[in-house]
C-alpha cells in the first residue's frame, strides 16, 4: 500500500497524517492522529488477508485485554482484505530503543521493569493467553510511569493442557528450549522474560553474535542465560536463574516469581499505587532526550528491518 492510498484509508476511518515507522514481511506500522480527539495512535496494517478466520483469534485476544500493564487496543478495522489494528501510542518509546541508545539501567530500575512485566504476564496467563514474544523491543514506557507489554500478534489462547504443538513463533534469541522443540507453554514467556532481563542488565542479548543455528544450539545444549554475581545482587541473580531454568516443569511460574524477594515489595507497591516514580523519571528523561535528538516531535520510533513479523509487528524500535 503506497503513501497516498494509506492516507486515504486512514482518513476514511478518522485518522490523519499516517507515517510509516516500521515494516516487515507481512505487516506495516504507522503512526497517525485521531482527527476527532487529536490523540496519536499506532496503526498496524496487515494487507492482503485471504482468510479472515485465520486472524480472528488474534483480534479476539486484542479485544479482551484490558490492563494497565498492556498496551491498549483501540479498534480493529477491515478494509476489503486489509486489516488495520489501532493501538495506543507509547510516546516514551521502548526498552529496546533505550538499550540500543547505549544507556544502562540500575538495579532499582530493573526491579520495577521486572515487576511491571510480571503484572502484565499475570493478567495474560490468568486468561490462558501467552504473549510469545517478550523482548525489550516489545516493552514500552507509558506516560504514567509503567512498563507495558506490547505486540500481541503472536498471542495465543492456551488450551487446558497448557501447551500447544507445532506453533513455534517469536524471536529466536528469546525462545525457550521447549519452544524450539515445538511445544509452547505459559512458562515459555518466563524464559523470555529472563533473557530480556539479562539483556537489560548486561546491555546485550546473551545470544548476540551467533548464527540462527548457533543460537538454537546454545539454547538447547548450553548453560542457561545468567547475570554476573559480581555486578548484581544475590536476589537479582537468583530471580534471573529462576526464570531461565531449562526444564519447563522446574521453571518458576509468573505467580511464583511475583513472590520472589527481588520483586515482591515492588509488585505490591505497583498494585497499590498504579505507578512507579522510578519508571516515570526514566521514561520522561529518555523521551526528552529523544525529542531533542529528533526535533520537535515526541519520540520517533526507528524502523527495524530485521523485526520478526508475520502478524506480530505493530510497534518496533
Q: Known catalytic residues? A: 133
Bridge partner residues of 156 (DSSP): 130
44 belongs to an annotated ligand binding site? yes
Positive or negative, the CA dihedral 33, 147, 227, 214 is negative
The C-alpha cell of 190 is what?
Answer: 518466563
Sign of CA dihedral 99, 95, 218, 233: positive
Return d(Cα 221, Cα 190) in angstroms, integer.
19
Distance CA 183, CA 161 (A): 11
CA 32 to chain centre: 20
DSSP character at residue 301: P
All three cell numbers of 111, joined, read: 526491579
3-class state of residue 73 by DSSP: strand
Cell numbers for 105:
539501567
Name the binding residues for ATP. 44
Annotated binding-site residues read: 44
Amino acid at each position: 500500500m503506497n503513501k497516498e492510498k494509506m492516507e486515504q484509508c486512514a482518513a476514511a476511518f478518522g485518522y490523519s497524517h499516517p507515517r510509516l515507522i516500521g515494516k516487515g514481511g507481512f505487516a506495516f506500522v504507522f503512526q497517525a492522529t485521531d482527527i476527532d480527539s487529536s490523540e496519536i495512535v499506532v496503526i498496524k496494517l496487515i494487507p492482503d488477508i485471504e482468510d479472515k478466520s485465520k486472524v480472528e483469534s488474534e483480534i479476539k485476544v486484542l479485544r479482551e485485554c484490558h490492563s494497565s500493564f498492556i498496551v491498549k487496543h483501540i479498534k480493529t478495522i477491515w478494509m476489503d482484505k486489509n486489516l488495520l489494528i489501532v493501538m495506543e501510542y507509547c510516546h516514551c518509546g521502548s526498552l529496546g530503543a533505550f538499550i540500543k541508545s547505549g544507556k544502562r539501567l540500575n538495579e532499582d530500575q530493573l526491579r520495577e521493569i521486572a515487576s511491571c512485566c510480571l503484572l502484565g504476564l499475570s493478567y495474560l496467563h490468568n486468561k490462558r493467553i501467552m504473549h510469545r514474544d517478550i523482548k525489550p523491543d516489545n516493552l514500552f514506557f507509558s506516560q504514567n510511569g509503567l512498563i507495558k507489554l506490547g505486540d500481541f500478534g503472536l498471542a495465543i489462547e492456551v488450551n487446558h493442557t497448557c501447551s500447544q504443538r507445532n506453533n513455534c513463533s517469536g524471536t529466536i534469541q528469546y525462545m525457550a528450549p521447549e519452544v524450539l522443540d515445538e511445544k509452547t507453554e505459559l512458562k515459555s514467556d518466563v524464559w523470555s522474560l529472563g533473557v530480556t532481563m539479562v539483556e537489560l542488565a548486561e546491555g546485550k542479548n546473551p545470544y548476540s553474535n551467533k548464527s540462527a543455528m548457533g543460537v538454537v544450539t546454545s539454547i538447547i545444549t548450553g548453560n542457561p542465560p545468567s547475570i554476573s554475581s559480581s555486578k548484581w545482587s544475590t536476589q537479582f541473580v537468583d530471580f534471573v536463574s529462576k526464570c531461565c531454568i531449562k526444564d519447563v516443569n522446574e521453571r518458576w511460574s509468573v505467580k511464583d516469581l511475583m513472590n520472589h524477594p527481588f520483586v515482591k515489595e515492588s509488585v505490591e507497591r505497583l498494585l497499590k499505587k498504579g505507578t512507579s516514580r522510578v519508571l516515570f523519571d526514566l521514561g520522561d528523561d529518555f523521551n526528552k532526550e529523544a525529542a531533542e535528538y529528533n526535533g520537535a516531535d515526541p519520540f520517533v520510533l526507528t524502523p527495524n528491518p530485521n523485526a520478526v513479523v508475520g502478524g506480530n509487528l505493530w510497534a518496533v524500535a
